[in-house]
């Protein structure tokens, strides 16, 4: 025990053991904690037929990447801004949405500003591209205004002033049997380009 060589060898052994234990604990920790990130990625290109988890559809909160269009309003309800009406804010409600362990019925994903100008339908996400606040409509200015940092957008969603890096996010809409269907999506915030999350 008093032999210095042996003690220095022991130091190496001790150091090695300590590192091994550290690695043995941190690798599973990292894999486990990265699960939600992996799940999100796996969701993006569509369900992976090989994984059992994919069988239960996707699980992260928010809209799945391949979400189908869901009815949000009847065509008759859609206000015509050409006739001076104010756009309509409608919630997007979806069945069978997954949130981690839960399957939700009638989950509220978010809301959209819906209007038409003549025959042209317009559906804009109410999420401000700047920092994610809910965009409001100011009837006196006939413009969309974000209540948080004051970004304003024209009736067609075009950025007018304020810190928002881009126009309001336009969503796909279609009309089927007198119903307006919307494919709801969320986009990355605070970037100049519109990329789905």
Near other proteins by CB under 8 A: residue from 5, 45, 50, 52: 52
Near other proteins by CB under 8 A: residue from 84, 101, 118, 178: 101
Q: Label each residue of the chain as H, E or C.
A: CCCHHHHHHHHHHHHHHHHHHHHHHHHHHHHHHCHHHHHHHHHCCCCCCCCHHHHCCCCCCCCCCCCCCEEEEEHHHCCEHHHCCCCEEEEEEECCEEECCEEECCEEEEEEEEEEECCEEEEEECECCCCCCECEEECCCCEEECCCCCCEECCCCCEEECCCCCCCCECEEEEECCEEEEECCCECCCCCCCCEC
Minimal distance, residue 179 CB to other proteins, in Å: 27
Binders in 17-46 for other proteins, by CB under 8 A: 17-18, 20-21, 24-25, 28-29, 31-35, 38
Near other proteins by CB under 8 A: residue from 10, 44, 190, 197: 10
Near other proteins by CB under 8 A: residue from 48, 95, 105, 161: 105
If binding is defined by CB under 8 A, does position 2 make contact with other proteins?
Answer: yes
Of the pair 49, 101, the CB lying nearest other proteins is at 101
Of the pair 76, 100, the CB lying nearest other proteins is at 100
User: What Å distances lie between residue 4 and 13, 160, 172, CA to CA?
Assistant: 14, 76, 75
Near other proteins by CB under 8 A: residue from 41, 103, 141, 188: 103
Near other proteins by CB under 8 A: residue from 41, 44, 48, 56: 56
Binding residues (CB under 8 A) for other proteins: these are 1-2, 4, 7, 10-11, 13-14, 17-18, 20-21, 24-25, 28-29, 31-35, 38, 52-53, 55-57, 59, 98, 100-105
């Amino acid at each position: 025990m008093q032999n210095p060589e042996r003690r220095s060898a022991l130091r190496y052994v001790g150091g090695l053991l300590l590192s091994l234990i550290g690695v043995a604990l941190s690798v599973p920790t990292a894999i486990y904690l990265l699960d939600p990130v992996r799940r999100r990625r796996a969701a993006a290109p569509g369900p992976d037929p090989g994984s059992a988890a994919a069988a239960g559809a996707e699980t992260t909160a928010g809209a799945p990447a391949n979400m189908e269009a869901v009815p949000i309003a009847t065509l008759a309800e859609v206000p015509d801004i050409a006739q001076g009406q104010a756009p309509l804010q409608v919630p997007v409600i979806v069945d069978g949405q997954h949130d981690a362990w839960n399957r939700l019925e009638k989950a509220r994903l978010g809301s959209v500003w819906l209007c038409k100008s003549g025959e042209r339908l317009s559906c804009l996400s109410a999420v401000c591209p700047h920092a994610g606040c809910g965009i409001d409509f100011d009837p006196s200015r006939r413009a969309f205004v974000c209540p948080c940092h004051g970004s304003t957008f024209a009736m067609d969603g075009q950025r007018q002033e304020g810190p928002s890096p881009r126009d309001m996010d336009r969503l796909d809409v279609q009309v089927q049997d007198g119903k307006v269907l919307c494919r709801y999506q969320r986009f990355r915030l605070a970037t100049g380009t519109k990329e789905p999350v």
